[in-house]
Copies of this chain bind each other. A is one copy, B any other.
Amino acid sequence: MHSLNNSVFNLLPKPYTDCAACEIRKTALFQGVPYGRLGWTQQYREAQFSVAARNQLYFENMRPEFAFTLVSGWVALYKTIADGSRQILKYALPGDLLGFNLTRDGTATHSAETITPVILCAFSSKNLSIMLREQPEIAARLVEMNLRDMSICQQHLICAGRKDARARLAYMLLETYYRVQKQSKADFDEKAKAIFFPITQELLGDSLGLTNVHVNRVLKVFKMEGLIECSHRRLIILDEKRLSEIAQFNSQTLDIHPLV
């Protein structure tokens, strides 16, 4: 466990109890693994780390030695463009697997930055490969997670290519709301219909191909129209029906068919 041994990554104690076996099963990658084999899976875990907000986990074009499952917190995956701007590809939520998309020469295809404080569980690339080869349930699950991410990415492509700022923004708000609701219960306040929403307007712009200035203007209109409440890192969807129409949002696209 070298190379993560710097100030950014803070080593946490490895929770090797039965309870941990339950815990690990909640992470999306291991959902299909039979109980008897969970312990076997765990031998491949390297360690857990905590990382503060606004830190880089890995960079595009560098060779990460580890992939991570995100245990808690939010991470932005992005690419930087030559002119200095950036495109955010995905907000990773708890359960997501990070850092296994590599080009043929082993370099990362994108960079990753923590938005909130996070807890990560590390796997060496080699062990991940072994697990995939030996446990078909994990490979199948990875295919599914990929297909879901692909569907999300395609939706974003449609937003960026074919929708105006209003529709894009509405889409992103609804998508995030749904994903949090399903994947990160801790960030979802069922009573208030609110989610924890640490995405700044600048980040929203970087996700949608808009400037933070224009994001601000459109959000203002949404608030005036009574569609959302949004401040202090909290988001409430007030009029889901109308917002969905504006966005042409369909939650089906977040829920893909299991292949196996």
C-alpha spacing A209/B159, complex, angstroms: 10
Which among B82, B87, B140 is the interface contact of A157 at CB below 8 angstroms?
B87
C-alpha spacing A255/B43, complex, angstroms: 31
Min Cβ gap A2→B in Å is: 21
B-contacting residues, A101-156, CB 8 Å: 101-107, 109-110, 128-129, 132-133, 136, 139-140, 142-143, 146-147, 149-151, 153-154, 156
Instruction: List residues of chain B with CB within 8 A of the CB of A158.
Output: 79, 81, 87
The yes or no answer to A17 lying at the interface (CB within 8 A) is no
Binary per-residue interface labels of chain A (64-103) against chain B in the complex, 1 for a CB within 8 Å, 0 otherwise: 0000000000000001011001110100000000001111
Seen from chain A, the residues whose Cβ lies within 8 Å of a Cβ on chain B are: 79, 81-82, 85-87, 89, 100-107, 109-110, 128-129, 132-133, 136, 139-140, 142-143, 146-147, 149-151, 153-154, 156-158, 160-163, 208-209, 248, 252-253, 255-260
A-B contact pairs, 29 of them (CB 8 A): A79-B154, A79-B158, A81-B158, A81-B163, A81-B248, A82-B248, A86-B162, A87-B157, A87-B158, A87-B161, A89-B154, A89-B157, A101-B147, A104-B252, A105-B252, A109-B151, A109-B253, A128-B259, A129-B260, A133-B136, A133-B140, A143-B146, A146-B146, A150-B153, A153-B153, A156-B157, A157-B157, A161-B208, A161-B209
